[in-house]
Amino acid sequence: MAATLSDQIQHAIDTKTKPLGALGKIERLARQIAEWQRTLAPVLDQATLTIFAADHGIADEGVSAFPQAVTRQMVGNFLGGGAAASVFARLNGVALRVVDAGVAGEPIAHADLIRRAVAPGTRNFLHQPAMTGAEADQAFDAGVALARATPGQAQAFGEMGIANTAAASLLAHKLTGLPLATLVGRGTGLDDAGLARKLDVLTRAAARTDGPLPPALAMAEYGGFEIVMIAGAMSGAAQVGQLVLVDGFIATAAATLALARHPEIRPALVFCHCSAEAGHRALLAHLDADPVLDLDMRLGEGTGALLAWPILRAAVAMLTDMASFDQAGVSNRA
Amino acid sequence: MAATLSDQIQHAIDTKTKPLGALGKIERLARQIAEWQRTLAPVLDQATLTIFAADHGIADEGVSAFPQAVTRQMVGNFLGGGAAASVFARLNGVALRVVDAGVAGEPIAHADLIRRAVAPGTRNFLHQPAMTGAEADQAFDAGVALARATPGQAQAFGEMGIANTAAASLLAHKLTGLPLATLVGRGTGLDDAGLARKLDVLTRAAARTDGPLPPALAMAEYGGFEIVMIAGAMSGAAQVGQLVLVDGFIATAAATLALARHPEIRPALVFCHCSAEAGHRALLAHLDADPVLDLDMRLGEGTGALLAWPILRAAVAMLTDMASFDQAGVSNRA
């Protein structure tokens, strides 16, 4: 019986000039990427980071250390090249684009900004659903369409939205059943009192609806436009055979939503970074995800995915460029 | 009173457009590199990986899963471009060179190989000192001289030498007093019986000398030519103001030796990777080192340092290229 492609990939990895398994996560990444691309010679040389920005009605409840205007200001900073994501994308040769998924205030005037705003921010989900079902569908579908039209072998997705750790925590709670207290953290830097207030607000918001919710309902009740659009974009990228680079806590909440709707995309997802945001480790464990990096970062914007990109490329190069014991004339273990 | 450079560096990091501390390890690396280069505008665009190869008399005791001939064969593989280190160095723009520090057998004929062999392998330290004091000094000094003559802002050091985890474990034990059982691991892949034999051999070899040893004695009694030469090279690179990228377990044992002789080089050392080799975590903790990556690798060759290089460059780019809140017109926290 012929060996399966999966067996052939593992054999190729195992006969490279190194002790069995000695490249650890690099080997596991190479295997995942080769299996996803269905080839012994995977290619990973073009990636795009799309940053989705949106505002959140829940910011009215004082759940963030920063004012809402920062969402809009950071869109300018991404486009101007001064944000962390801008700097890391340039350094690592990843294309960067920015999408207005629903920033508060007047539409932002910038030639390079991609306009997909569903509304100027969500409603305050402490008192009412964050968006209508139609708005949620619009956001998800816009993400799918954008990602499907993007060239390359990999897509990363970042986010910007003051108060979006609040939305991400609650959405993840309603999708997974993990305790809210586990999923709620300091976001951009709340102090103890701010953290207690955030947990109180989210506990009351969660009580508006009963227990866990199906994904279509969860995303409308508690989502953010950028979070829902990222979930759509992850689904769309996987549908066209691309690798999905999952960033930090909020991107992982979006991935949880995407997986709830499209569980078949799981093999496309590479979890790039374990964030310092409190709930991330628990959410990653729930998804059985072993992140590539753990750099004690909690910024979002796709920064974790950008820093993991050279490591994913190294994994592919290991498989395609390293010599085997036979090729190099090196003795394998006795 | 004028702010110190250290204060100025921290202020520059703290006013970048991100929440305070949100880039975690990236911020700490940027601070270390800027302080080491004594500037607010550090540069990190040229690095060299030097792989030192040598053989070990202790290999006669069956402490490795691979035959000794592999050291020599892998030198050819590094120079031929097929080893993991060759592939990662090419991908990440790091220059690679290979030094014969003491490989067994006839001298290796290759135009690109740098010849610094002290002897064709160490003596078996189960029965006698691995090298004479003069040989140890020769190895250390050759490393210093090589590294001092190398251009760039950073140097990484890799190693190849069948049985060198045995030498590294024993050397680290004699330098630090950490228990041998903590420091001894499976190397390239010993099974349980092999691991027990290795620990027994090293326990007997350790008993040849009394307790902890001063560095000059420890390196002659239990060192390897590649390990001692790396310790010298680390010292030399730091002496000329370069950053020292410390790789895995064996490189960390070399760093322990370098630090015992030249404690003033500590600020130049970036610990790049926590190896899956059993003793590495304990040795890193002893040195109060917080490694950049943890990729479950245990290959050596400088692979961990090579994969950390793009992350170190990102840390520098954060400091030099990111906009401040003022520059970007972004509001800082309320």
The rounded distance, in Å, linking the Cα atoms of A34 and B320 is 36
Average pLDDT value over all residues in chain B: 97
User: What letter would DSSP give residue B41?
Assistant: S
pLDDT attached to residue A2: 72
**What pLDDT is recorded for position B145?**
98
C-alpha span between A269 and A244 (Å, rounded): 5
Q: Does A62 reach chain B within 8 Å, measured CB to CB?
A: no
pLDDT band at A334 (very low <50, low <70, confident <90, very high): low
Q: What distance in Å separates the CA atoms of residue B185 and residue B169, rounded to the nearest whole number?
A: 8
Chain B window 245-284: which residues touch A at a Cβ cutoff of 8 Å? 276
Sign of CA dihedral A164, A95, A91, A306: positive
pLDDT at position B2 is: 72
B82: chain A residues, CB-CB within 8 Å: 17, 321-323, 327-328
The pLDDT assigned to B334 comes to 57
Contact B310 A92 (CB under 8 A): yes
Look up residue B245 and give its two tokens: 């990228």
DSSP B221-276: HH--HHHHHHHHHHHHHHHTT-EEEE-SHHHHHHHHHHHHH-GGGGGGEEE-B--S
Are A22 and B328 a contacting pair at CB < 8 A?
no
State residue B285's pLDDT score: 98
Q: Is the pLDDT of residue A164 over 60?
A: yes
- Which of B88, B92, B186 should we substitute to test contact with A (largest number of A Cβ atoms within 10 Å)? B88
Q: What are the beta bridge partners of residue A269? A: A244
Could B189 and A276 be called an inter-chain contact, meaning their C-beta atoms sit closer than 8 Å? no
| B293 contacts in chain A (CB < 8 Å) | 293
B108 touches chain A (CB under 8 A): no
C-alpha to C-alpha distance for A321 and B2, rounded to whole angstroms = 53
Q: What is the pLDDT of residues B27-79, one digit of tens each?
A: 999 999 999 999 999 999 999 999 999 999 999 999 999 999 999 999 999 99
Please report the pLDDT score of residue B1 as a whole number: 59
Contact B84 A328 (CB under 8 A): no
- d(CA B59, CA B65) in angstroms, rounded, equals 10
Categorize the per-residue pLDDT at A333 as very low, low, confident or very high, splitting at 50, 70 and 90. confident
- B79 CB-near residues (< 8 Å, 6+ apart): B98, B110, B112, B113
Assess B40–A contact: CB distance below 8 Å, yes or no: no
Could you write out the DSSP letters of every residue in B114-130?
EE--SSSS---TTTS-S
> Which residues from A are below 8 Å from B73, CB to CB?
328-331
Q: What is the pLDDT of residues A8-38, one digit of tens each?
A: 999 999 999 999 999 999 999 999 999 999 9
ipTM of the complex: 0.97
Q: B98 pairs with which residues across the strands?
A: B51
Residue spans of chain B under pLDDT 50: none
CB-CB neighbors (< 8 A) of A189 in chain B: 19-22, 333
Query: Across the interface, do B84 and A16 touch by the CB < 8 Å criterion?
Result: yes
Contacts A–B by Cβ distance under 8 A: 196
Closest CA to B305 of B88, B42, B18: B88
Selection from B334, B310, B327 nearest residue B16 by Cα: B327
pLDDT digits (tens, 9 = 90+) for B188-233: 999 999 999 999 999 999 999 999 999 999 999 999 999 999 999 9
B13, B15, B17: best to mutate for the A interface, most A CBs within 10 A: B17
A293 in contact with chain B, both atoms CB, cutoff 8 A? yes
Q: Give contacts of A272 with chain B, Cβ < 8 Å.
A: none
Catalytic residues of B: 301
Relative orientation angle of helices B164-176 and B249-261, to the nearest 10 degrees: 40
The predicted-structure confidence for A94-116, as pLDDT tens digits, reads as follows 999 999 999 999 999 999 999 99
Q: How far apart are CA A117 and CA A120, in angstroms?
A: 7
Report, as residue numbers or ranges, the catalytic residues of A: 301
pLDDT of residue A1: 58
